[in-house]
Amino acid sequence: MKLYLIRHAETVDNVAHRLAGIKDSPLTNHGALQITRLGRYFASQNIKFSHIFSSDLSRAVLTAEGLSAHQPELSPVLLPSLRERDFGSFEGTKWHSTWESSIVPKQPESEASMRQRANAFLNDYLLPLLLAGEEAGDEVVVAVVSHGLLLRSLWRALLACFPPSDVRIVGDADISAFNPFWANTGYLEVLVRPKLSPSVGDSEMPILEFSLRSMDHSSKMESIVTLLLLSPVLAAGSLHARIDNGLAKTPQMGYVTPAEGYRYVTTDCGWSVADRLPNGTLTWNETLFPSGFPAMGEYLHGLGLLFGVYGDAGILLCGSPPDQAGSLNHEQQDAQTFADWGADSLKYDNCYSDAATGYPNVNYEPSTSPQSRYEIMSNALLHVGRPILFQICEWGVDFPALWAPELGNSWRIGNDIIPAWRSIFRTLNQAVPNTPFAGPGQWPDLDMLFVGNGVFSLPEEQTHFSLWAILKSPLTIGAALKDDKTSINPASLEVLKQKDVIGYNQDALGVSANLKRRWSDEGYEVWSGPLSGNRTVVALINWQNVSRDLTLDLPDAGLQYAQVVKNIWGKSVARDVRTSYTANVAGHGTMLLELQGTVPSGSYPAKIFAKSKGQTTTFESIYGVTTSANYTLAITFVRPSTETVTITTSSGQTVSTSGKPTRIALTAGSNTITIRHKTPIESIQVTPPTGTYYANTVFNVTGSAQHTTCGSGCSPVGSKIGYLSPDSNAYTSIPVITPGSKYLEIDYINNDVAFSSSWGWGSNSRNLTVSVNDGAPVRLEVPLSGRHSELFSPGKGWWDSATLGVLTSGWKTGENKVVFGNEGGEDGFQTYAADFVDNNELASIQLEASPPPPGNVFPAIERWNHPKSNIYKTLATFWCFLVMGANDAAYGPLIPYLEQHYSLTYTIVSLVFLSPLGGYILAALTNNHIHLRLGRRGVAIIAPSCHILSYIINCLHPPYPLLVVSFVFAGFGTGLADSGWNAWVGNMADANQVLGLLHGFYGAGAVLAPLVATALVTKIGCAAIELATSVYCFWDDTGAVFRRDTQQHSTPGGGGGGGSGLRKALFTKRAGRITWVCSVFLLLYVGVEVALGGWIVTFMMRVRHGEPFASGMAATGFWLGITVGRVVLGFVTPRIGEKLAITIYLVSSIAFGLILWLVPNFYVSSVAVSIQGFFLGPLFPAVVVVATKLLPRGLHVSAIGFASAFGAGGGSVLPFAVGAIAQAKGVKVLQPFAIGLLGAILGLWMGLPKIPAEHET
């Protein structure tokens, strides 16, 4: 066998060094290229895969489909067991900080759980294929596409097959080969084959050779290592944390039709008596079983059937009284007794078992987990000399899927089925989190079948039997087939004998179907799963009790086309089914389909979907899951071509492209795509939009609803919204570009397990509704999501989220009110809705002026506290602005000391204001280049280092020219930090408020400036803290991350590199106008701010004749006003809109400037300058926010960075100008000079373009 262990292609989170476990992350452009290279490489090597297994996460699925694209007859088998490790609350966080702080996520998935999944896959899929291939003499070539940590666990499990003494390293291999690291699309090539080995004589032994390669490297990453295997037979069971009794490779089937596969015949409770025999063994009720159990076992074996017995982990059997002895404290003796009787299976119940609560009949909240009692019996059965299939039956208490597979062959997922149709819905809702644990030797048990009991209608029996079968439940007939009093009706018997359905249950692949989609209002849902032979089984359940036509959209099952669709209960066969299939389904019935010869969803071969006429080809039955202009269309021609083609969609859009994927618009439902071309088309690929993620933290809540934290779960933000009653909701505003119907993927949490309520109306579901723009709510009745113990785990299963999607209508261009709630919940069984974690809207909402290039996806809008690492980054920027404020405001208090120390005039001393201009200009010109090459990490290192260097030079009291030069370094650092952190924060949600706080810290630093202006050692310490905190928090924000975030993938310094973004920002018509207006606005504003702050002390002393201390306090009041204004008005600005707010602030500043100028009173002037500072405070942050709304996101750093650095130059030029004028005319010119500049700023502001409606706050 040849085995290729392949890691998925590069994703956005890989580039950003973020943990991405069970949450999907979109591919980068380079990732898409890696997939193409990988597929072409294997094809060029003539490598033909016989099997492809893949994680069901999209980054792995897309990689696997890249392999199968060269083998159209082969479809990947998607397995949840191959998913990456679930990182819980660490999902989306930077992995450096996570590991360096030694906070290793232990919930919701442990290392042991991940190893168990890897071992299960090895044992259930790889090793059987190896053995089957050896027996048949066929070459088996297997590709496994998964994730780094899971692949490492799988590789270690494979190595565990080989005893260490028989591992031999050959050539120049390094021991690190045993713990390899997979690059994206890197693969480990493993060859298992017979080979003569001198170390073990002349006998042939299988060996294992492997090498690790990456498609991004031309040479091998590791040398070949050879390992010897002692035996040609692999002991599969020893590798897997599951019971090793060799039984139940497929789900067991019970009762008496051996020709159909039903072989186990089991007597349930009621067979025993209260007292044991004198030797302590169990015995049977002689009235009911006069010949005894051993004789019954012999009789059944003689019929070719298997003998099943029933026991209990408590002191009595279920069904007592009359009392019947249980096995508690008699496990080994009873196990041996069952074996002596010839038993082949044991169903082991859990009544009367909890000693701490007085051995009640049933206890759904026991004092301890039932696991320990089942461990005792499991171990006992392994030592009786006879294989006995062990059926764990403790009704789903303590979520046994996590521990039962290593003890038994099946486990009951929930309480008993009852003779009522509602129990089918209740059981399926409980099955949802159990299905990923199904596999050979370990099966979730949905309880016995009620088919033939006269309880259900024939369509209900078909539904019941279909779902039990495809979910891989053991099939145990619970009806009397024939006795003296009754006989099963022929129609029910035919249901139980349906060979196709039994075949799905017994399929060798052993993969359970999963819930794919649910329409609660319409009353139907879809389940599907893979079968051997590249087939797929699909069940569409009609929950309404009325016969009707229902349509299956094949993409809901991951398919686009089926050559054959076999309708089992409809007894029909359809051929060449494209995109959808419609059939009549009886009330409470099921459309059960087997699909063969399939094409994966999104792929449209021209010979199947297209009609051509001349140079025009029209593709029909194009599926749209949502209405969006951000679908991606890729065309494959029959031969290489770069011709320009014209594409028209049924939505009316027409676009042109030349050989590259392009954005197209599709509506939800069926579409057509018409292409005008010259080269014949082989196929097209249509990829739906990735969507935009909205965590619960961006939603506001009303009524009883509340945000709650979730410990280490509720990925990725560690919180959820709970207590959604009918009188409460969670709401937010979501902007979209394209109106129409939108598909929402909703992450929810529900672990409200129906135990006691299962006998009544308990359904294991909770209601959740979503409405758009106050339209009619769409209801989703969600199943259980909990995958941990509801009793003993942290979070009790209420940290485990699951995802379901709904199609919603009523969306309009611009902002949309989206409300999640529990409307109609007052009519249901449960008081509260499911907990709401997050929502992914598949319209690819972006805030840029035009759609991004194909394949590029901007990340969702960040918040100051999401992801969690942003909290520390935000605090680091606050400290940086504190240092910057102290630096800029220190010039004024330094002037008297500089005049005295260096004996300078106003004009010469003003050079300390002018000198930073060189630094600001340099920062404006290099800011974008630094971001592209070094990312925000570069800003975090360079800016504080420049501050430290400047302060060290100042400490040495150098000659005045060198002192002036030192302020150039300070200016460069300030300009770089000013531009970088303004652009970063300006792109956040609630940017006005956060920028207000950011610049409030600048003002706070300025307030402190008079105290530390001459304490340069103190300033060096502050700058050192700035360096340490900034570098630590932004270390992972490299140039690669920045380029990914802004979609600027050009090489820094190369053609079209670092300067291209700046050129676009400055010299394209609309963007250039906005950038230059904002730049000049900030130049004048910062000039006014620093001039007033720097010269107000001198003004108050020389013009208002104040004392030095009081004049210094006036300057402090000015900076304090700016600080308070930024914080307070930062919350006011978004409420009234930036355009109106800044106009009001500027007019108010001019008014108080006039008071300061015209009223010759020290105290009035002191108050006026403080209030003037208050209204000046929010101007800088508000302009940054406006720039983010008017400019495309890809230009934000270039434009805002330039404007910030250019504007910072105003803090040099204009105070210098004031100094020069003051030298000639006196410092009294300060106020008319400032008022004139404020008037010019107001004029500039009125010339800015109008903010689009969808961006108005």
pLDDT above 60 for 207: no
User: What is the C-alpha to C-alpha distance for residues 987 and 767, in angstroms, rounded to an integer?
Assistant: 35
> Residue 195: its pLDDT value, please?
38
Instruction: State phi, psi for 284 to the nearest 5 degrees.
Output: -100, 165
Task: Give the C-alpha distances (Å, rounded to integers) separating 697 from 90, 314, 837, 1012.
Answer: 16, 47, 9, 40
Q: Which residues pair with 695 in a beta bridge?
A: 838
Q: Which residues are annotated as a binding site for substrate?
A: 7-14, 59
User: What is the C-alpha to C-alpha distance for residues 732 and 735, in angstroms, rounded to an integer?
Assistant: 10
Q: Which long-range contacts (CB under 8 A, 24 or more apart) does 568-571 make?
A: 568/466, 568/498, 568/500, 568/501, 568/592, 568/593, 568/594, 569/459, 569/462, 569/466
Instruction: State phi, psi for 1232 to the nearest 5 degrees.
Output: -60, -35
pLDDT tens for residues 251-277?
777 654 455 789 999 999 999 999 999
> Residue 107: its pLDDT value, please?
46
Which of 103-112, 659-668, 1103-1112 ranks highest by mean pLDDT? Answer: 659-668
39-47: average pLDDT: 84
> Residue 920: its pLDDT value, please?
75
Residue with tokens 């359905």: 501
What b/e string do you get for 102-111 counting C-beta neighbours within 10 Å, with b at 16 or more? eeebebbbee
pLDDT above 70 for 22: yes
Query: Of 373, 44, 6, 339, whose CA–CA distance to 183 is shortest?
Result: 6
Identify whether the C-beta of residue 206 lies closer than 8 Å to the C-beta of residue 232: yes
pLDDT tens for residues 587-624?
999 999 999 999 999 999 999 999 999 999 999 999 99
Identify whether the C-beta of residue 95 lies closer than 8 Å to the C-beta of residue 1035: no
pLDDT above 50 for 1022: yes
Q: Residue 531 has which token pair?
A: 């079968």
DSSP assignment of 623-689 equals: EESS-EEEEEEEEEESS----EEEEEETTS-EEEEESS-EEEEE-SEEEEEEEE-SSPEEEEEEE--
Secondary structure, 3-state, 85-136: CCCHHHCCCEHHHHHHCCCCCCCCCCHHHHHHHHHHHHHHHHHHHHHHHHHH
Query: Of 1051, 1040, 1037, 1026, whose CA–CA distance to 937 is shortest?
Result: 1037
> What crossing angle do the helices spanning 1069-1102 and 891-902 adopt, rounded to 10°?
60
CATH code assigned to 602-687: 2.60.120.260
My answer on whether omega of the bond before 108 falls inside 30° of 0, hence cis, is yes
Name the H helices within 987-1107: 991-1012, 1016-1034, 1039-1046, 1058-1067, 1069-1102
Q: Which residues are annotated as a binding site?
A: 7-14, 59
pLDDT above 70 for 146: yes
User: What is the C-alpha to C-alpha distance for residues 554 and 571, in angstroms, rounded to an integer?
Assistant: 19
Residue 211: which H helix or E strand, with range? strand 204-213
**Which DSSP symbol is given to 382?**
T
For the beta carbon of residue 246, count every other beta carbon within 10 angstroms: 12
**The CATH homologous superfamily of the domain defined by 696-837:** Galactose-binding domain-like (2.60.120.260)
Q: Residue 1131 has which token pair?
A: 């919350």
- Tell me which of 400-409, 775-784, 940-949, 1226-1235 is least confident: 1226-1235
Contacts for 54 with CB less than 8 Å, ≥ 6 apart: 60, 61, 63, 64, 76, 77, 78, 79, 82, 144, 145, 146
User: What is the C-alpha to C-alpha distance for residues 475 and 480, in angstroms, rounded to an integer?
Assistant: 15
**Which DSSP symbol is given to 27?**
B
Q: Residue 157 has which token pair?
A: 């499990």
pLDDT above 90 for 690: no
Does domain 886-1045+1061-1247 match CATH 1.20.1250.20? Answer: yes
> Residue 246: its pLDDT value, please?
66
The separation between the first and the last C-alpha atoms of the chain, rounded to the nearest angstrom, is 62
User: What is the C-alpha to C-alpha distance for residues 1202 and 158, in angstroms, rounded to an integer?
Assistant: 56
Identify whether the C-beta of residue 163 lies closer than 8 Å to the C-beta of residue 223: no
> Residue 1108: its pLDDT value, please?
75
Does domain 2-91+111-198+206-216 match CATH 3.40.50.300? Answer: no
Residue with tokens 């100028």: 1157
> Residue 216: its pLDDT value, please?
40
- Tell me which of 127-141, 388-402, 653-667, 779-793 is least confident: 127-141
Domain 516-600 belongs to what architecture? Sandwich (2.60)
Name the H helices within 764-829: none
Task: Give the C-alpha distances (Å, rounded to integers) separating 657 from 633, 642, 646.
Answer: 10, 9, 7
3-state secondary structure of 962: helix
Q: Residue 1178 has which token pair?
A: 């929010």
Residue with tokens 């002596």: 340
Q: Residue 597 has which token pair?
A: 């010869």
**Which DSSP symbol is given to 705?**
-
**Residue 1256 falls in the annotated catalytic set:** no
Task: Give the C-alpha distances (Å, rounded to integers) separating 641 from 345, 1039, 1174.
Answer: 64, 34, 63
**Which DSSP symbol is given to 321?**
S
| Cα-Cα-Cα-Cα dihedral sign, residues 672, 677, 681, 687 | negative
β-pairing, 141-146 vs 51-55, is parallel
pLDDT above 50 for 755: yes
CATH of 225-243+255-512, one of 3.40.470.10, 3.40.50.720, 3.20.20.70, 3.40.1400.10: 3.20.20.70
For the beta sheet containing 51-55, the strands, ordered from the edge strand earlier in sequence to the opposite edge, are: 77-79, 51-55, 141-146, 2-7, 187-196, 204-213, 225-228, 167-168
- Tell me which of 183-192, 913-922, 1030-1039, 1223-1232 is least confident: 1223-1232
Question: How high is the mean pLDDT of the chain?
Answer: 81
pLDDT above 90 for 848: no
User: What is the C-alpha to C-alpha distance for residues 1182 and 1245, in angstroms, rounded to an integer?
Assistant: 11
Residue 641 zone, left/alpha/beta (φ > 0; ψ -120 to 50; rest): beta
User: What is the C-alpha to C-alpha distance for residues 1153 and 203, in angstroms, rounded to an integer?
Assistant: 99
> Residue 94: its pLDDT value, please?
63
- Tell me which of 45-49, 185-189, 673-677, 859-863 is least confident: 859-863
Domain 225-243+255-512 shares a fold with domain 886-1045+1061-1247: no
**Which DSSP symbol is given to 312?**
E
One-letter amino acid at 1241 equals I
Domain spans, the chain: 2-91+111-198+206-216, 225-243+255-512, 516-600, 602-687, 696-837, 886-1045+1061-1247
For the beta sheet containing 410-412, the strands, ordered from the edge strand earlier in sequence to the opposite edge, are: 443-445, 410-412, 389-392, 345-349, 306-312, 264-266, 253-254, 475-476
Catalytic residue among 17, 51, 65, 84: 84
pLDDT above 60 for 1166: yes
User: What is the C-alpha to C-alpha distance for residues 882 and 885, in angstroms, rounded to an integer?
Assistant: 5
User: What is the C-alpha to C-alpha distance for residues 313 and 370, in angstroms, rounded to an integer?
Assistant: 9
Query: Of 1024, 923, 1040, 1035, whose CA–CA distance to 983 is shortest?
Result: 923
Which of 330-344, 862-876, 1085-1099 ranks highest by mean pLDDT? Answer: 330-344
Identify whether the C-beta of residue 1146 lies closer than 8 Å to the C-beta of residue 1242: yes
**Residue 383 falls in the annotated catalytic set:** no
Confidence of residue 390 (pLDDT cuts 50, 70, 90): very high
β-pairing, 264-266 vs 559-567, is unpaired
| Cα-Cα-Cα-Cα dihedral sign, residues 1127, 1130, 1135, 1140 | positive
More confident residue, 239 or 403: 403
1134-1154: average pLDDT: 87
Helices (H) and strands (E) in the chain, counts: 33, 44
87-96: average pLDDT: 68
Confidence of residue 691 (pLDDT cuts 50, 70, 90): confident
Residue 456 zone, left/alpha/beta (φ > 0; ψ -120 to 50; rest): beta
Identify whether the C-beta of residue 1139 lies closer than 8 Å to the C-beta of residue 1251: yes
